[in-house]
Structure 1
Amino acid sequence: MTTSLSGQQIRQKFLDFFASKDHKALPSASLVPADPTVLLTIAGMLPFKPIFLGQQKPDFPRATTSQKCIRTNDIENVGRTARHHTFFEMLGNFSFGDYFKSQAIAYGWEVSTKVFGIKPENIVVSVFEEDDEALAIWRDEVGVNPKRIVRMGAKDNFWVSGPTGPCGPCSELYYDFKPELGDDDIDPDDDSRFIEFYNLVFMQYNRDAAGKLTPLAKQNIDTGMGLERMAQILQGVPNNYETDLIFPIIETAAKLAGIKYKKANESAKTSLKVIGDHVRAVTHLISDGVVPSNEGRGYVLRRLIRRVVRHGRLIGIEGLFTTKVAETAIKLSESQYPDVRKQADLIKAELQAEEERFLKTIERGEKLLEEVIAKTKKQISGVDAFELYDTYGFPLELTQEIAEEKGLKVDAEGFEAEMEKQRDRARSAHKSIDLTVQGSLDKLASDIEVTDFLGYTKANSKATVELLLQAGEPVDSVVAGSDVQIILDKTPFYAESGGQIGDQGYLSSGDTVVRIEDVQKESGFFIHIGRIERGSLKKGDAVTAQIDLACRRRAQANHSATHLLQAALKKLVDEKIGQAGSLVSFDRLRFDYNYNKGLTPEQLQAVEAQINTWISEAHGADIAEMAIADAKAKGATAMFGEKYGDSVRVVDFPGVSMELCGGIHVSNTAEIGVFKIISETGVAAGIRRIEAVAGPAVLEYLNVREAVVKDLSDRFKAKPEEIVDRVTAMQAELKDTQKQMAAMKAELAAAKSGDLVNQAIEIGDFKAIIAELPGADADSLKSAAETLLQKLGEGAIVLGASPAEGKVNFIAAFSKGVVGKGLQAGKVVGSVAKICGGGGGGRPNFAQAGGRDASKLAEALAEAEKLVKGGLG
Structure 2
Amino acid sequence: MQQYNGRYCNKIKFSMNSREIRQSFLDFFAQKGHTIVRSAPVIPADDPTLLFTNAGMNQFKDVFLDKGTRPYNRAADTQKCIRASGKHNDLEDVGRDTYHHTFFEMLGNWSFGDYYKKEAITWAWELMTGVWKLPADRLYATVYQDDDESFQIWKDHTSISPEHILRFGDKDNFWEMGETGPCGPCSEIHIDLTDDASGKSLVNVGDYRVIELWNLVFIQYNRQSDGRLEPLPNKHVDTGMGFERVAAVMQGKSSNYDTDVFKPLFDRITEITGVRYGASMDEPHDIAMRVIADHARTLTFALSDGAMPSNEGRGYVLRRILRRALRYSKNLGYNEPILHQLVGTLADSMGDVFPELKKQRDTVSKIIRSEEESFIVTLDRGIEIFNDVVSKVRSAKGTVIKGVDAFKLYDTYGFPFDLTRLMASDEGLQVDGEGFEHCMQEQKTRARADRKEKHQIEEDGSQWLWFSDQHATSFVGYEQLELPVRIIACKHAKEKLLILLDKTPFYAESGGQVGDRGWIETASYRLQVTDTVKDGDAIVHVVTAAFDKILDTAVNPADLTIDEGQLSAEASVDHHIRQDTERNHTATHLLHGALRRILGQHVQQKGSYVNPERLRFDFSHFSKMSDAEIARVEASVNEEIRRAEEVQKHADIPYDDAIAKGALAFFGDKYADLVRVVEVPGISVELCGGTHVDNIGRIGLFKIVSESSVASGVRRIEALTGKSAEKLLWQEYAELQQIRQLLKAKGDEPVASRIVELMDARKELEKELHEIRIGSLLQSLSVDLQSAPEVSGCKLLAKVVEGADGDALRSAGLALREAVPCAAGLLCSVQDGKVSLAVFASDKAVKELGIDAGKLIREVAQHVQGGGGGKPEFATAGGKNPDGVNKALEAFTTAVKAQLG
* Partner of residue 523, structure 1: 536
Inter-CA distance 700–11: structure 2 relative to 1 (3 Å threshold): same
Contact 1:202 1:220 (C-alpha < 8 Å) held by counterparts: yes
Q: What SS does the aligned partner of 1:805 have? A: helix
Q: What SS does the aligned partner of 2:120 have? A: helix
Farther-moved stretch of structure 1 (67-76 vs 526-535) = 526-535
* Partner of residue 748, structure 1: none
Equivalences, count: 723
* Partner of residue 6, structure 2: none
Map 1:115-514 onto structure 2 (within 5 A).
115-163=131-179, 165-178=181-194, 180=196, 182=198, 187-206=203-222, 213=229, 218-246=234-262, 249-250=265-266, 252-253=268-269, 262=278, 270-293=287-310, 298=315, 300-313=317-330, 316-360=333-377, 382=403, 385=406, 388-389=409-410, 392-396=413-417, 411-415=432-436, 428-432=457-461, 438-440=464-466, 443-445=468-470, 448-450=471-473, 452=475, 454=477, 457-458=480-481, 464=487, 466-468=489-491, 477=492, 482=495, 487-504=500-517
* Partner of residue 77, structure 2: 65
Farther-moved stretch of structure 1 (69-78 vs 232-241) = 232-241
Structure whose CA Rg is larger: 2
Q: What SS does the aligned partner of 1:806 have? A: helix
* Aligned sequence identity (%): 38
Q: By how many angstroms is 1:301 displaced? A: 4.0
Residue type of the alignment partner of 2:509: E
Q: 1:90 aligns with which of 83, 90, 106?
A: 106
Residues 1:805 and 2:857 aligned together: yes
Q: Deviations 1:164-183 (Å, cap 9, x if unpaired)?
A: 55433210011223374747
Q: Deviations 1:683-739 (Å, cap 9, x if unpaired)?
A: 678765433222344366565898799999999x9954434577799999x9xxxxx
Separation in structure 1 between the aligned mates of residue 334 and residue 52 of structure 2, nearest angstrom: 31
Inter-CA distance 163–36: structure 2 relative to 1 (3 Å threshold): closer
Q: By how many angstroms is 1:413 displaced? A: 1.8
Q: Deviations 1:47-100 (Å, cap 9, x if unpaired)?
A: 445655667765555443222222222134433454332211112233444443
Residues 1:7 and 2:18 aligned together: yes
Q: Deviations 1:211-251 (Å, cap 9, x if unpaired)?
A: 66565565433221101222333445554334432365356
Superposed CA RMSD: 5.4
Separation in structure 1 between the aligned mates of residue 620 and residue 239 of structure 2, nearest angstrom: 38
Q: What SS does the aligned partner of 1:320 have? A: coil
Separation in structure 2 between the aligned mates of residue 629 and residue 8 of structure 1, nearest angstrom: 23
Unaligned runs of 5+ in 2: 1-10, 391-397, 445-453, 546-554, 767-806, 808-839, 841-851, 861-891, 896-901
* Partner of residue 678, structure 1: 705
Q: By how many angstroms is 1:676 displaced? A: 1.1
Separation in structure 1 between the aligned mates of residue 573 and residue 406 of structure 2, nearest angstrom: 47
Q: By how many angstroms is 1:336 displaced? A: 3.6
Unaligned runs of 5+ in 1: 469-476, 735-740, 742-774, 776-799, 809-852, 857-873
Separation in structure 1 between the aligned mates of residue 56 and residue 419 of structure 2, nearest angstrom: 37
Residue type of the alignment partner of 2:464: Q
Q: Deviations 1:488-515 (Å, cap 9, x if unpaired)?
A: 5444443221222234567788998987
Contact 1:250 1:275 (C-alpha < 8 Å) held by counterparts: no
Residues 1:590 and 2:616 aligned together: yes
Q: What SS does the aligned partner of 2:340 have? A: helix
Separation in structure 1 between the aligned mates of residue 403 and residue 588 of structure 2, nearest angstrom: 45
* Partner of residue 393, structure 2: none
* Partner of residue 878, structure 2: none
Separation in structure 2 between the aligned mates of residue 266 and residue 633 of structure 1, nearest angstrom: 45
Residues 1:564 and 2:590 aligned together: yes
Residues 1:664 and 2:685 aligned together: no
Separation in structure 2 between the aligned mates of residue 328 and residue 636 of structure 1, nearest angstrom: 25
Inter-CA distance 547–458: structure 2 relative to 1 (3 Å threshold): closer
Inter-CA distance 319–171: structure 2 relative to 1 (3 Å threshold): same
Q: Deviations 1:733-770 (Å, cap 9, x if unpaired)?
A: x9xxxxxx9xxxxxxxxxxxxxxxxxxxxxxxxxxxxx
Residue type of the alignment partner of 1:70: I
Separation in structure 2 between the aligned mates of residue 806 and residue 369 of structure 1, nearest angstrom: 27
Residue type of the alignment partner of 2:510: S
Q: What SS does the aligned partner of 1:318 have? A: coil
Q: Deviations 1:24-54 (Å, cap 9, x if unpaired)?
A: 4454344345655665433223444565566
Contact 2:363 2:602 (C-alpha < 8 Å) held by counterparts: no
Contact 1:283 1:347 (C-alpha < 8 Å) held by counterparts: yes
Q: By how many angstroms is 1:107 displaced? A: 2.1
Q: By how many angstroms is 1:287 displaced? A: 3.1
Residue type of the alignment partner of 2:39: S
Residues 1:690 and 2:717 aligned together: yes
Residue type of the alignment partner of 1:457: Q
Q: Deviations 1:268-310 (Å, cap 9, x if unpaired)?
A: 6554433221111122223334444556655554443343334
Q: What SS does the aligned partner of 1:325 have? A: helix
Q: What SS does the aligned partner of 2:584 have? A: helix
- Provide the TM-score with structure 1 as the length reference: 0.68
Separation in structure 1 between the aligned mates of residue 741 and residue 324 of structure 2, nearest angstrom: 49
Contact 1:122 1:176 (C-alpha < 8 Å) held by counterparts: yes
Separation in structure 1 between the aligned mates of residue 27 and residue 96 of structure 2, nearest angstrom: 34
Separation in structure 2 between the aligned mates of residue 584 and residue 530 of structure 1, nearest angstrom: 21
Residue type of the alignment partner of 1:415: F
Inter-CA distance 801–529: structure 2 relative to 1 (3 Å threshold): farther
Contact 1:583 1:589 (C-alpha < 8 Å) held by counterparts: yes
Q: By how many angstroms is 1:129 displaced? A: 0.9
Map 1:621-660 onto structure 2 (within 5 A).
625=651, 627=653, 637-639=663-665, 644-645=671-672, 647-651=674-678, 659-660=686-687
Residues 1:42 and 2:54 aligned together: yes
Contact 1:463 1:545 (C-alpha < 8 Å) held by counterparts: no
Q: Deviations 1:501-542 (Å, cap 9, x if unpaired)?
A: 234567788998987664432422234557678251456466
Q: By how many angstroms is 1:643 displaced? A: 6.1
Inter-CA distance 338–213: structure 2 relative to 1 (3 Å threshold): same
Contact 1:452 1:489 (C-alpha < 8 Å) held by counterparts: no
Q: Deviations 1:143-194 (Å, cap 9, x if unpaired)?
A: 4333332211233222334455543321001122337474775552242442
Q: What SS does the aligned partner of 1:430 have? A: coil
Separation in structure 2 between the aligned mates of residue 315 and residue 104 of structure 1, nearest angstrom: 46
Separation in structure 1 between the aligned mates of residue 252 and residue 383 of structure 2, nearest angstrom: 43
Separation in structure 1 between the aligned mates of residue 378 and residue 483 of structure 2, nearest angstrom: 50
Separation in structure 2 between the aligned mates of residue 728 and residue 459 of structure 1, nearest angstrom: 61
* Partner of residue 556, structure 2: 534
Contact 2:506 2:573 (C-alpha < 8 Å) held by counterparts: yes
Separation in structure 1 between the aligned mates of residue 656 and residue 120 of structure 2, nearest angstrom: 40
Residue type of the alignment partner of 2:167: R
